[in-house]
Copies of this chain bind each other. A is one copy, B any other.
């Protein structure tokens, strides 16, 4: 089994998960197959929904002599007639629902191995949300003990060790850590079904985040029992990779249809508010008139069409960088999901999320409502602005929000102002203060807001504006008037905006004061003939930086890397690699995660980085694909895309 990140957004990731029975793309949904009663067969699922992996229950198989016999003789793949990867559950949930049932924790793992399960599951102890902390802790201890006993029995089967700990974040994290320290392959987050049944999504988020904090980030995470697509995107945003659905069948059995905003009873619908093949073929009244079994089957198909389509939508959102938008939109249909989203604003959660947040995305950031301003990318921008950015002049002129990029929209005003005196120019934007020279940097130019946002967003951005302008001499441009004294000193008033921009962007991107090192020489700036935008920066005829047109961020060139390497002591900006990898990196091949020895904890996905050997010799410059935690944990896949050897 291998698992590697291919694309990412927020703390979500699109991965390839390789098993003996084929490769699965995550995030993905494992439909639950009841070997006794298949509403839809795995073969059909594969054909209709592109189902890549399913889950079935080893406890149910084991307790039925006939099923057990077939499974042992022919394997679970033959039993349910599916040639893709199969995960098996152990009976934990049945213990929870039906009370004490007889299963031996080690036997059931052995059994799963014997029937050829690709991913077997330990018999963990289901921790309910109403447990006292003591009870939860006891359950957790037993779960960990069982995991310990089970691991030696797994053979070549991957073993899923379920994170328990009820609603206690410290227990969840502890359990996750202890399981991560063993040789487990796959981490379900368990005991969450009662939370989902009661729409306690804020509690669910706490469980997921605390588990994720303790888990080895290089292993797949499965939100056990999560089958309603309503919250798939939120769970993925937090780093869940797998869901399993028996909901499609359970709801179908009750005449209920899954939609992205919730569940509706067919009986109450006059029309089918969906475009899936079932809802396109039948009208509501057609469906109502079908015989009971056929209706159940069609509702099951509908439920899976909708669920798999949401999985594809989420994967598209990850690839294209709009996972936050998707999650906020989905949450707008359910107030309890909005409560969950609010959980992410907590400082410790923002700090955790920010570590995974890519530096740049393929699509613009879209405002969806009062949650947008609290996204990690905004949090990061504000933090860097306050700690890395340096004002150039003593006076600051504040301009109102305008069209983007501001430097073009306000070109005439800027000229007039600079004729009077040199000042800092700051736009009071929806995203907080934007010094005019940062206006092309992601996400400042690449963001779409309504003309008026909402009180909360205005309040948040004002807070940062106030902090940013604190103790500064500020002049506000208002209604076309500007109360600014003309500078009568002999100093020339023209400001070299290109230089100001290059300095400011490189400081924001690489660290405070870095421009001093990168740009201390004869500068030559090459601009695009078409757009007038900065393209390349040369210092003493050495190419140090290139600016990407799409996100206004610099890529670091070999000479720039040398300067930064000299300027910053380790570990700053460094990815330290094994000796063995150096020849490949020198040929501009990617740095694979397994060759990473250390990494600057401040590096974020898609940041520019210095690739060095253990003695801190600069080998190459590249762009990270993972953050430090991930680089240290993953055994598979690329960690850094090498751009240029030095």
| B450 adjacent to A275 (CB under 8 Å) | no
Contact status of A370 and B456, CB under 8 A, knowing A335-B448, A450-B342: yes
Q: Is A454 part of the contact surface with B, judged by Cβ < 8 Å?
A: yes
Q: List the B residue with the shortest CB-CB distance to A50.
A: B283
Is the CB–CB distance between B454 and A455 below 8 Å? yes
| Residues from chain B with Cβ under 8 Å of A268 in the complex | 320
Contact A455 B370 (CB under 8 A): yes
Bound CA–CA A367/B331 (angstroms):
10
Interface flag for A195 (CB, 8 Å): no
Which of B270, B308, B335, B367 meets A450, CB within 8 Å? B335
Whether A312 contacts B450 by the Cβ 8 Å rule is no
Asked if A454 meets B451 with Cβ closer than 8 Å, knowing A328-B332, A369-B332, the reply is: no
Kindly identify, within residues 297 to 340 of chain A, every residue whose CB is under 8 Å from any CB belonging to chain B: 305-306, 308-309, 312-313, 315-317, 319-320, 325, 328-329, 332-336, 338-339
Cα–Cα distance between A328 and B331 once the two chains are bound (Å):
12
A270-B315 in contact given A275-B309, A452-B342 (Cβ < 8 Å)? yes
Contacts of A202 in B (CB 8 A): 451
A272 at the interface (CB under 8 A from B): yes
A2 to chain B, nearest CB (A): 21
Q: Does A480 contact B (CB under 8 A)?
A: no
Which of A268, A329, A339 has the most B CB atoms < 10 Å from its CB? Answer: A329
A271 at interface (Cβ–Cβ under 8 A)? Answer: yes
Query: A279, B309: Cβ atoms under 8 Å?
Result: yes
Cβ contact within 8 Å between B339 and A370 = no
**A332 CA to B49 CA, complexed, in Å:** 28
Q: Closest residue to A362 on the B side, CB-wise?
A: B268
Q: Knowing A49-B280, A309-B279, A329-B329, say if A450 contacts B336 (CB, 8 Å).
A: yes
In Å, the complex CA distance between A280 and B272 comes to 17
CA distance A320 to B268 in the complex (A): 9
Interchain CB contact under 8 A, A369 and B370: yes
A266 to chain B, nearest CB (A): 12
A386 sits at the interface (CB 8 A): no
Render A453-476 as a binary contact track against B, CB cut-off 8 A, 1 for contact: 011100100000000000000000
- B residues less than 8 Å from A450 (CB atoms): 335-336, 338-339, 342
Residues B342 and A333 in contact, CB atoms below 8 Å apart: no
Q: Is the interface of A mostly helix, strand, loop or mixed?
A: helix
Whole-angstrom CA separation of A325 from B334 in the bound complex: 10
Q: Which residues of B contact A532 (CB under 8 A)?
A: none
Query: 8 Å CB contacts to B: which residues of A335-381?
Result: 335-336, 338-339, 342, 366-370
A315: chain B residues at CB < 8 Å are 270-271
Is the Cβ of B338 less than 8 Å from the Cβ of A333? no
Chain B residues within 8 Å of A182, by CB: none
Nearest chain B CB to A159's CB is how many angstroms away? Answer: 30
Chain B nearest Cβ from A460, distance in angstroms: 9
Q: Does A48 contact B (CB under 8 A)?
A: yes
Q: Which residues of B contact A272 (CB under 8 A)?
A: 312
Q: Which of B281, B329, B370 contacts A370 (CB 8 A)?
A: B370
Given known contacts A316-B273, A456-B454, is B335 in contact with A367 (CB within 8 Å)? yes
Chain B residues, CB < 8 A from A448: 335
Tell me the minimal C-beta distance from A245 to chain B in angstroms. 15
**A38 on the B face (CB < 8 A):** no
List B contacts of A325 (CB < 8 A).
Answer: 333
A497 at the interface (CB under 8 A from B): no
Distance between A76 CB and nearest chain B CB, rounded to angstroms: 28
Complex Cα spacing A249 to B50, Å: 28
Most chain B beta carbons < 10 A, residue from A273, A275, A366: A275
Interface pair A274/B309, CB less than 8 Å apart = yes
A624 to B304, CA, bound (A): 42
Q: Given A270-B319, A316-B269: A370 and B280 within 8 A (CB)?
A: no
Other than the known A332-B369, A338-B450, what 13 A-B pairs have Cβ atoms closer than 8 Å?
Answer: A271-B315, A273-B313, A274-B312, A275-B275, A275-B308, A279-B309, A329-B329, A332-B332, A333-B368, A334-B366, A335-B450, A454-B455, A455-B456
Binding site for B on A (CB under 8 A): 48-50, 202, 261, 268-277, 279-281, 283, 305-306, 308-309, 312-313, 315-317, 319-320, 325, 328-329, 332-336, 338-339, 342, 366-370, 448-452, 454-456, 459
Q: What are 20 residue pairs bridging A and B, where the CB atoms are less than 8 Å apart in the complex?
A: A270-B316, A273-B309, A273-B312, A273-B313, A275-B275, A275-B276, A276-B276, A279-B309, A280-B309, A335-B367, A335-B448, A335-B449, A338-B367, A338-B369, A339-B451, A342-B450, A369-B370, A370-B370, A454-B455, A454-B456
